[in-house]
Amino acid sequence: MLEKLLENLKGLEPSRILLQVPEGLKPKVLEFAREIEKLGHEVFISAEPCFGSCDLRDREAEKLGAVLVHIGHTDFGLKPECRVIWEEYRLEFDPKPYLEQNLDVLKRYKTLGLLSTLQYLNSLQDAKEFLESRGVSCHLGIPAGGQMLGKARYPGQILGCDLTAALSIQNLVDAFLFLGTGRFHVLGLVRKTEKPVLMLDFDSGKLEDLTGERERLERIRQACIEEAKGSKHFGILVSTKPGQFRPELAVKLKKKLEELGKQVWILVFDEITPEKILGMHLDILVNTACPRLSEDLERFEKPVLEPEEVDRLFEKPQKPSYE
Ligand code: SF4
């Protein structure tokens, strides 16, 4: 799996390396480190949690005088503080048996937009060929960054914070089909498009129609907004992770909220977790970092608004309902 990376590292003078992998690859990280050490490099392993290429540990690498090797994500287009070697780590997975099993449902749509995360992108072309051979035409949308650096980079690739590969083709397709694992990315899409959204889960082989979640999610968001309208104390969350750091947006949101008579504080974190704000008497949080956080209402035990939702606080109050 790491042939290309090891080949690259062979060409590098013996160096100090800081190795960073996402949570899903942590069980393999010791093995990766051993392989890299065999090439004569000195390896440090970043133990900090990592959920995306937005979370580059370049400052630590610079402190260590190390080259950062980041495995498992695409280059986010950041300007790192040190040399970074990216290794995408895609998995080979044949989607055809699962598609065959679920063909009756998939054939209800004439045109599908196929989507996945980096890990399973290699399966999209196989899925397209298979479905088209069965009469379902398929599109792979191009992310807004295209082949330029910046968030999603490849046809059909989505991230929780970059759904442009899907949104760019929503007028061309009858529905979206996400192939892979994990619901976070695809639930983000359910809220941003009016088209049906299906997920073929590569762990279970089950096809799930997530379209019904749209109404439930929107009800929850609306309830958060209504609660925020009547609340006084707001905390705006800023993460210093390089690809999530948006202090100017936080300042802008603070001003808007103050226009509504709210009391607002800007809180700065690396990893944003509820324990860090225990004891601060805040009613509502506004998230400027990874969109995943706004979905995590239960952990924070209070509404977490997305930046775009602040404008909705200017609307007339309605009755909140979290059901
Ligand atoms: S900001 Fe969130 S969704 Fe975007 S790459 Fe980072 S972890 Fe993934």
124-181 pLDDT per residue, tens: 999 999 999 999 999 999 999 765 556 899 999 999 899 999 999 999 999 999 999 9
Taken in order of first residue, the domains within the chain and their CATH numbers are 3-87 (3.40.50.11840), 96-211 (3.40.50.11850), 214-314 (3.40.50.11860)
User: How close is the Cα of 143 to the center of ligand 1, in Å?
Assistant: 15
pLDDT band at 185, cuts 50/70/90? Answer: confident
Per-residue pLDDT, averaged over 13-22, amounts to 95
ipTM for this prediction: 0.99
pLDDT of 14 = 85
CB 231 within 8 A of CB 208: no
User: How close is the Cα of 230 to the center of ligand 1, in Å?
Assistant: 30
pLDDT band at 190, cuts 50/70/90? Answer: very high
CB 166 within 8 A of CB 193: yes
- Cα angle 266-270-271, degrees, rounded to a multiple of 5: 105
> How many whole angstroms separate alpha carbon 143 and alpha carbon 270?
27
CA-closest residue to ligand 1 atom 4: 161
Would you say the CB of residue 20 lies under 6 angstroms from ligand 1? no
Would you say the CB of residue 160 lies under 6 angstroms from ligand 1? yes
Would you say the CB of residue 184 lies under 6 angstroms from ligand 1? no
Q: Is the pLDDT of residue 62 over 80?
A: yes
Would you say the CB of residue 290 lies under 6 angstroms from ligand 1? yes
User: How close is the Cα of 292 to the center of ligand 1, in Å?
Assistant: 7
User: How close is the Cα of 53 to the center of ligand 1, in Å?
Assistant: 7
pLDDT of 322 = 62
Per-residue pLDDT, averaged over 83-97, amounts to 94
Q: Which atom of ligand 1 is nearest to the CA of 289?
A: 1
CA distances from 306 to 161, 186, 187, 318 (A): 12, 17, 15, 19
pLDDT of 3 = 86
Phi, psi of 78 (to 5 degrees): -80, 165
Instruction: Give the number of residues written for the chain.
Output: 323
pLDDT of 31 = 96
pLDDT of 173 = 98
pLDDT band at 312, cuts 50/70/90? Answer: very high
Would you say the CB of residue 152 lies under 6 angstroms from ligand 1? no
> How many whole angstroms separate alpha carbon 295 and alpha carbon 287?
10
Give residue-wise pLDDT tens across range 38-59.
999 999 999 999 989 999 999 9
User: 11 or 233: whose pLDDT is higher?
Assistant: 233
pLDDT band at 318, cuts 50/70/90? Answer: confident
pLDDT of 147 = 58
CA distances from 321 to 43, 216, 223 (A): 52, 10, 5
| Cβ contacts of 141 within 8 Å, gap of 6 or more | 113, 115, 155, 156, 164, 165, 166, 167, 168, 169
Would you say the CB of residue 159 lies under 6 angstroms from ligand 1? yes
Would you say the CB of residue 246 lies under 6 angstroms from ligand 1? no
Would you say the CB of residue 161 lies under 6 angstroms from ligand 1? yes
Would you say the CB of residue 121 lies under 6 angstroms from ligand 1? no
- With the most atoms of ligand 1 within 8 angstroms of its CB, the residue from 151, 158, 161 to mutate is 161
pLDDT of 321 = 62
Would you say the CB of residue 187 lies under 6 angstroms from ligand 1? no
Give residue-wise pLDDT tens across range 198-246.
999 999 999 999 999 999 999 999 999 999 999 999 999 999 999 999 9
Given the structure tokens 């504080």, which residue do they identify?
265
Q: Is the pLDDT of residue 8 over 70?
A: yes
